[in-house]
Each structure stands twice: as C-alpha cells, then as structure tokens.
Structure 1
Amino acid sequence: MNPTSDTLTHLPPPEHADVLVIGTGFAGLGTAARLKRRGTHSFVVLERADDVGGTWRDNTYPGAACDVPSHLYSFSFRPNPDWSRLFARGPEIHRYLRDTARDEGLLPHIRFGAEVTQARWDTVTRHWVVTTARGVFTGRFLVTGTGHLSDHSLPDIPGLAGFDGPVFHSARWDHGTPLAGKRVAVVGSGASAVQIVPEVAEAAAEVVVFQRSAPYVVPRPDRAYTDTEKRVFRRDPEAVPAHRAEIFWYLEAGYAARRAAPHQLAEAKAAARAHLERQVADPELRAALTPDYELGCKRVLISDTYYPALTRDHVRLEPSALAQLEPGTAVAASGARHAVDVVVLCTGFETAEPPYAHLVHDGAGTSLAEHWAQGMEAYASTTVAGFPNLFLVNGPNTGLGHNSIVHVIEAQVTYVLGALDWSRAHGDHDVEVTPAAQRRYTGELARRGADTVWHSRGCESWYLDPRSGRLTLIWPDFADEFRHRNGTFDPPAYRAPTLTPAPVTP
C-alpha cells in the first residue's frame, strides 16, 4: 500500500547517524556496545519489536533454553558471574540482553518499532538510506545483525489455513491456548521440538510428533551452579575467563567429527547411539529414532528428556512428515491419520534466503537477494562486493554446529570496527570489497567444506542452499580459525583509496 500525502506529511524528518545497526539480538547489541565502549556515539539501532532480545525475546515456548553453556553464550566483555545453570533458560538469556542494553547505555540509541522496509545505497551522497515503519534513517555505514533465526518458516501444507483449531509456530507461541486435555500435534523434530515435546507431554492428553528425519540426540549435562561457584566467579577476575576457555576448547574438539575424522566421528556416533539405547527400550521405536545420515549433517541436539517423553503412553512418534490437515485430523505422509486439536509448528526459520536480503539494495537498485540467487556469500563472511559500507554480522558462513555463535559475532564486530578505523584514517573512504577477493574467499570456503559431513552422502540440511547445494550457513572449520581468519580487518581485499597527487612546486 502506498502512503498517502497526509501520511508522508506526518513522517518525522530523516535521522542521521554515522552507523546504523539493524537488530537487538547478540549481533546488534554486541556491535552497539563495542561502538559505545570505544567512544563512538553517532549510531542508531533499529529494532522492529518493542523490546530487545532477538531470538530470546521471540522464542517463549515452554522449555526454551540454550544448547551452548551460559558462560560461553555471553559476551566476553560482559561476563555474568551469576548464571544460574550450565545451560541457561530462555528468560535468563533475555534478561542478560536487556541488562546489556541498559548497562551499556544503548537504550537512547535504540529506535523500537522501526521495522526496516527498505535499505538503499545512495551513490550521490555515499550514504545508506533506510526506510522504516517509524521514519527514514541515513548513515555512512549499515550493519545488519538480524541473525539466522529471526524469521520463522511456515510450511506449505494443504489445509493449514483452514484447520479448525489453534495453529502456531514455536517462535510465536500462543500462551492463550491451553493444552491441558488437548490432542496436540508437534510438527518437526529439531532443536525447538526436543525442548517442547517433554513440556507439552506434561499437559496434553495426547501428543503426536511428526518426524521427517530422526535427529542425533546426545546427553545434556546440565546442572545448577552452586553459590560457592558464583561467589568465586564474582570475586576472582580470572575465574570466568578460565571457565569460558575450558568450555570453549572442550566444544572445539567436537569439530573433528564434522570434518569426518574417522575416530572422532565414530566416538560421537557411539555416544549418540548409547544415549538412544539407554533411554528407549522398544526396538521398533528405537529404529524409528535412529538417523539415516551422518552425524553432524544436521544440528546435533542435546536432551535428557526428549526420548523418555516419546516412550510415554499418550505420546506417539509419527515417523513421517505432516502432509495435510483436515478438520480435527492431521494426515501424515505415511497415510496415517491422527486426531488433533492443536498444531504446533516446529518448522524452523528462513535461513538460506533471509528476508532482509530482499530489502537491501545496491546503488543500481539490485537487491542483495538477487546477488545471492545461487546462495549467500560475503567476503570474510562480513562484506559483499557491490555494497559499500555494508557489514553483515551473523550472516553467510557464520553458523557453528559445535561451538558458540557469540565467539563468531565478537570476531566480526572487531573486524567491523577495524574497517571503520581504516575508513576514517583514509579520509572517510568507502569500505568496498573487490569482487576478486570475494570470489577467492568463496572458493576457499568451498575447499574447506568439501570433505566435511555436510557434503556427505544423503545429507540434506538447512546449512546447504537448496538452489545450488553450496554450504552457505555454516563455517566449515574450527571456531578459533574463524577468529584467526576473519577477526582482523584486511585492507588489501578492499578498493584502495584514490591518492591525490601532491601539488608541484614551481
């Protein structure tokens, strides 16, 4: 719908800042906090919602928790000695992000209700012009911090819109729908589903879980931190960094299995198989829960309660996808029919083709999505040829299957700050990566990923772009290598400043 002239008249005048940041999850707040800490105050953070938190604001489903240990799933520059558990629950992580926004002095910089509808590079002013629901913003630099899990994906299932009961996505949990005594269908068996199913099983009269493919599930060694441990974390400035390092290197060892190193892969598969055998005695159910692809191809899940929930008398596993919904009935691809009252969609997010890519345009009006017709790519996983002064934090090839994404985000933010310094030192020169450098980097990642489990036979996962089969979401190496490779701005990959000849003295 086009705005009327009256609407345009009442729009506020454009607001300008040196840096525009989109999103208030870990990526957006991490960028803003580092800008503020170094004395940069000319920045604005655009947030479409009315609160900060990103994924942890939106995902309020029962059982929501992180599968990366708390002390590592937090900013290194904002240690929290008071994490309650090894694996924090969603509300506690959301509170941490809220505290970050407040304590780092970011709230005056955030514009809530500012959903971005278009971002365009102006070739005349050499600025980004960003149109939002609450007005227009301009800035020299644009940082997208929207992440991989910000826009939920709804499946194209016949009868979905006409189902006669509540239907909602896990990322938009309907807390007004009581589940007590209801027959509930949970569609999907990924990271959200393994947390939701045990919780729903406690309330619902019947639960059916539609599983398109069985996930690998390993034990969740969760526990509460003791008061003594938290006291040590508060009093000893070295205690939290040491604990973070211990967790980081323990998780880092898990990448060897993704590289398909035979011994490590066999050990990881044996641990997953033993977990399944301990928790599921029924051989038929166990067979249905046994993955038919290589471990690591899809996200490896951690849970001690998912398998036991599936063994309960009122919970059924449907080992096929949901094919159709009819009034009061969910029809599986196998042909089985299940009576249901409520449908919960644990169907993931828009990852390979992120919605923000359709909103960001270069100087000629071509969208980032059009540039990425065969899959996302960015130099150093951060900048894109043809899009000056644009930085993607938590964008292409930044996901990790074995360690903390916050580690990657912090490396990228350091890269961005280095780029801003370089620009300033060269007379506010635009930061624009060359196409040749981006091609070399894309080729480098293809070579790194060639021998990993993500390209193993039968692997179909959201890490791969469905149009080209390219590995576009995951970083195909150790997390430490990401920081080594992409944690420092490298000027040779960018268009060099034009040198003005010195005046000739007669």
Structure 2
Amino acid sequence: MHNNTQRPAPLRVLIIGSGFGGLGMAIQLQKAGIEDFLLLEKAAEIGGTWRDNSYPGAACDVPSHLYSFSFEPKIDWSRKFAPQAEIHGYMLHCVAKYQLRTRIRCNAEVASAAFDAAEALWRVTLSDGDELCADVLISACGQLNQPAYPALPGIEGFQGEAFHSARWRHDLDLSGKRVVVIGTGASAIQFVPQIQPKVAELKLFQRSPAYVLAKPDRAYKPWELALMRRLPWLQRIDRGLKYLQYEMRGLAFISLPWLMKLMRFTFDRHLNKQVSDPHLRAQLQPDYPMGCKRILISNDYFPALAKPNVTVISEAISRVSETAIITADGREHPCDVLIYGTGFAATDFLAPMQITGLDGLELNQAWQAGAEAYKGISVSGFPNMFILYGPNTNLGHNSIIYMLESQFRYVLGCIDVLREQDVRYLDVKATVQQRYNQQIQASSHRTIWEQGCSSWYKTASGKSTNNWPGYTFTYRQQTRAPELNDYDCTR
C-alpha cells in the first residue's frame, strides 16, 4: 500500500452517475447543508440517458411539467412533451444554478467499490486506477445505461455501419441508404419516422409489435408561456393535474386490469385510422395483453410504416452476411446501415461495476436470482450504500422523477441517522428485505406486467425486477423516513 503518500480524506458522500438521480440527490444534499460530496460520471458530460439518447426524434413520453424536479420548476418548456435536447439543457441548467460543476468529475468510470468494515468506509476504484473513499455510497446509475445488443451470428463480418440508437452516429448521412432497424421499442418508434423520408429503403425487424397510442403533444402557444411566466403557480397546478391524470392510469395497470380493454379499443382505433393495408395492420396487432410491455405513444410511427419505402419483417433473423441480413426463411435483405433499437440491459442493475459488501459478499452473487432491494434503495450486506431508481422503482404509468424525489428524502433520512445518532453504518436486515420482496413479487403477480409476455421489466427466469407494482403516492408514503428497526445499526 502507499503508506508514504498521504491518502485523501474520505468524502461524506460519493454519488455514481449524473442523470436525474445523481443531480437531484446532489442538490438535496446541498440543501441539507452537506457540501462534502463528489459526483462521478463515466462519460465526458453529465446527463445520463438524456445525454446518450440523442437520436433523431428523441423525446420524453411523460409531460414536461411532470418530468422535472418539483424544487426546480421550468415554466418555459417549448412543448407538452419535451424533446431530448431540451431535457438535457434543463439538467445543465440545474448544474449551473446549483453550482455543481466543482463537485462533478467527468470521465470517471467506476470499476469497483468495496466496503471496509473496520474503517466504515466505501473504497471506490476508478477504471484508470484512481482510488476514492467515502462514508456513504449512492449509486445513481439508473436502469437504462447499458445498451443491449442482440446476438446475431456473423455480425463481426458485416461490412456496413452498425450502431445502437443510444450511441447514434450523427456523422453518418443516411440519405439514399438501405437501412435495417432491429427492434420496435420506445426508441425505434421515435427515430423511424425521422429517418424514413431520407433513406432509400427501411426494413424494420420486429419480434413483437408494440401497443402505440396517440401522443397528445403540441407546442405551447406564446400566450400560454406568457401566462405561466406571469403566474408561475399555473405550472404547479398543471403539474398536479397531470400527476393525478397519470396516476389514474395506474388503476388499469395495478387494480382494475379490465380498464385495459378500453385502452385496447383506443389502440385499435388509432391503428385502423393510420394504417389501411390489412396485411400490415395484422402485423402490427400485438398478441399479448396491453400494458404487459411498455405502452408507447406516437402520432407518426404508424404512418411512417405505411410508406412505400418501408417494410415490416416479422421473420426471425438467422444470420448476418457481409452485406445483408438473412432471415429464417432464407431470404436476403441487403443492408448498408444496421441500427439497433434494442433497448437496454435493464435487469442488470449496477453492472458492470464490481461491488463488494460485508464479508466479501459480491453484489452479483447476492443478485443471482434477480436484483432486489429494500424499498428499491438498500441491499442487505451492503451497509451505507443506497440505490436511486433501483430494483422495482420503475413505472409504467407516471413520472420517474416523482419516485426519485421520494428516494432523495429517504436517503437523506438515512444520512441524518449516521450524522446525528453516532451510527457508523446502517445495514438493512436480511429478513426485512426478504419480507419486502415477497410482498413486491406477490403484488407484481396481480399486475398487468405478469399477464403472459416477456419484457425488459423481468429477468429471464420471470422475476419482476424493474417495476413498482403500486401507486406512486403509496411509495412516497413508504419512503417518508427510514425506520431504524429495519436496519442493523453498528455504532
């Protein structure tokens, strides 16, 4: 060890990730008078998923007033649903306003973190070999930061360009190219209509079609913006009403799945209005219950698929040659550019970091059967480590920002306990975590996500690791403050 060199003094808090979770947590730490923290960001700039996903047409499918911090309202969103660049701009505004730049270290990817019980410290090693230590480790990596690539035989020999939508190649001109898109998730339905007019031909490979509803999006009118500038509380009211409206949608996911039948009717109407070709229409009809996978919203996806230069292909891909995609029926589909719209490895929380807790316990061992955490935040055997947007805190019906704000308060409560009660470390009891997760899995079985489809909400073995199977106000209620008897407190 470097005994001769002076070790840097341990930080109070170390945050991994600078998306909405990391930035919001940092601002809340500051507001609580904790200045001794550092944010680590693996990329060259802050922003998480809203920095990565800069593909054409990238936008949020939660209304902008709801998809922003309650403590940092923005009244001048250009549209009802904010585009990616504007959301990323909002995050940069937060960094500037709260003077977070000096507390953020970019190009700092975490390779591993280990808890040192004797010192009650987390020792964090970066991929460049640098070491840092902190009393508290907060992972704010989110669920959508590791792009998922399909295993396609022969892809190494492909001579054209290939990239993932979250690593968009803005330097490539797609004009006149034969483009293949694999995947029909939330990203593909946004970029396909944007690139369709430019490309010579577009072939869209889908494993299963998505439920797509109309998007009630439009630009805010100048008078609306002027009115909100003069009366900022109007934005608060709009945010509150949107929250209620979206929380009501939760009824269909959680309590009254028959309501989905009504939504199914609106889907059919939307599809029939936009696609006249009966063959294509049949291809775009999902064969699983609505809501089982993420429901998508778009006004231009179906019309784009109906254009003459677009073909939807439901045949499985058998392999890739140097210049084409070959399907199971033996047909060749010539291809200049291959775009993966295949989403993220969402159930691999905190991968690829190596996290070691008490007694050498490794997180990926603890999570062999699927990730789980108490309230989505604490994991037994990993003291003083807290996860934001962790297991079972994703939503199908409302804004994740609301969930994050519930988590900020809970984590601050835990930090206060460490500060004020002379506790060296907090470790959630294994029995508490187990009981909590049995309830979560039982509740998940009653929800729409368990109605017979596979999705990024679940592991391969069928464990629901991503979604919160309830209402967001219930979650807020449950995370108001930590209960000390849920934790083993080492003084």
In the superposition, the TM-score normalised over structure 1's length comes to 0.94
- Partner amino acid, structure 2, of 1:419: C
Paired with 2:174 and 2:329, the residues of 1 have a C-alpha distance of 26
**Are residues 1:367 and 2:362 paired?**
yes
The equivalences for 1:20-31 within 5 A come to 20-31=14-25
**What is the CA distance between 1:227 and its match in structure 2?**
2.0
**What is the CA distance between 1:365 and its match in structure 2?**
2.6
Paired with 2:468 and 2:330, the residues of 1 have a C-alpha distance of 38
1:197 aligned residue (183, 192, 198): 192
SS at match of 1:269: helix
Paired with 1:441 and 1:232, the residues of 2 have a C-alpha distance of 46
CA contact (8 A) 1:116 1:130 kept: yes
Paired with 1:496 and 1:364, the residues of 2 have a C-alpha distance of 17
CA contact (8 A) 2:257 2:448 kept: no
- Partner amino acid, structure 1, of 2:290: L
CA contact (8 A) 1:213 1:320 kept: no
**Are residues 1:456 and 2:468 paired?**
no
**Are residues 1:92 and 2:86 paired?**
yes
Partner of 1:474: 467
**What is the CA distance between 1:352 and its match in structure 2?**
1.1
**Are residues 1:67 and 2:92 paired?**
no
**What is the CA distance between 1:224 and its match in structure 2?**
0.8
- Partner amino acid, structure 2, of 1:299: R
Paired with 2:360 and 2:425, the residues of 1 have a C-alpha distance of 18
CA contact (8 A) 2:120 2:424 kept: no
Give the unaligned 5+ runs of structure 1. 499-506
**Are residues 1:346 and 2:346 paired?**
no
**What is the CA distance between 1:355 and its match in structure 2?**
4.6
Partner of 2:481: 488
Change (3 A) 1:340 1:146: same
SS at match of 2:132: strand
- Partner amino acid, structure 1, of 2:119: T
- Partner amino acid, structure 1, of 2:464: L
CA contact (8 A) 2:42 2:108 kept: yes
The equivalences for 1:213-232 within 5 A come to 213-232=208-227
**What is the CA distance between 1:441 and its match in structure 2?**
0.5
SS at match of 1:208: strand
Partner of 1:416: 411
**What is the CA distance between 1:305 and its match in structure 2?**
0.5
CA contact (8 A) 2:59 2:82 kept: yes
Cα-to-partner distance string for 1:192-244 (whole Å, 9 max, x where unaligned) = 00001111101100000000001000000101112222223223242221111
**What is the CA distance between 1:165 and its match in structure 2?**
0.3
- State percent identity of aligned pairs: 40
Paired with 1:262 and 1:398, the residues of 2 have a C-alpha distance of 20
Paired with 2:435 and 2:236, the residues of 1 have a C-alpha distance of 35
CA contact (8 A) 1:357 1:367 kept: no
**What is the CA distance between 1:67 and its match in structure 2?**
0.6
**What is the CA distance between 1:497 and its match in structure 2?**
5.5
Partner of 1:40: 34
**Are residues 1:274 and 2:269 paired?**
yes
**What is the CA distance between 1:334 and its match in structure 2?**
4.5
The equivalences for 1:175-324 within 5 A come to 175-259=170-254, 261-324=256-319
CA contact (8 A) 2:148 2:343 kept: yes
Change (3 A) 1:335 1:216: farther
CA contact (8 A) 1:449 1:471 kept: yes
In the superposition, the TM-score normalised over structure 2's length comes to 0.96
Partner of 2:12: 18
The equivalences for 1:163-178 within 5 A come to 163-178=158-173
Paired with 2:315 and 2:236, the residues of 1 have a C-alpha distance of 45
CA contact (8 A) 1:380 1:486 kept: yes
Q: How many equivalent residue pairs?
A: 490
CA contact (8 A) 1:357 1:368 kept: no
**What is the CA distance between 1:425 and its match in structure 2?**
2.0
Paired with 1:20 and 1:460, the residues of 2 have a C-alpha distance of 35
**What is the CA distance between 1:38 and its match in structure 2?**
1.8
- Partner amino acid, structure 2, of 1:31: M
Change (3 A) 1:465 1:383: same
**What is the CA distance between 1:332 and its match in structure 2?**
2.5
CA contact (8 A) 1:433 1:495 kept: yes
Paired with 2:67 and 2:257, the residues of 1 have a C-alpha distance of 29
Paired with 2:463 and 2:162, the residues of 1 have a C-alpha distance of 33
Paired with 2:445 and 2:469, the residues of 1 have a C-alpha distance of 9
Paired with 1:264 and 1:353, the residues of 2 have a C-alpha distance of 32
SS at match of 1:39: coil
Change (3 A) 1:233 1:92: same
Change (3 A) 1:232 1:300: same
Paired with 2:191 and 2:379, the residues of 1 have a C-alpha distance of 38
Range with greater deviation from structure 2 (356-365 or 245-254): 356-365
Paired with 1:304 and 1:245, the residues of 2 have a C-alpha distance of 25
Change (3 A) 1:81 1:57: same
Paired with 1:470 and 1:453, the residues of 2 have a C-alpha distance of 14
Paired with 2:358 and 2:260, the residues of 1 have a C-alpha distance of 47
SS at match of 1:316: strand
Partner of 1:329: 324
- Partner amino acid, structure 1, of 2:403: V
Paired with 1:96 and 1:377, the residues of 2 have a C-alpha distance of 31
- Partner amino acid, structure 2, of 1:159: G
**What is the CA distance between 1:15 and its match in structure 2?**
5.7
SS at match of 2:217: coil
SS at match of 1:387: coil
Partner of 1:501: none
The equivalences for 1:146-161 within 5 A come to 146-161=141-156
CA contact (8 A) 1:179 1:203 kept: yes
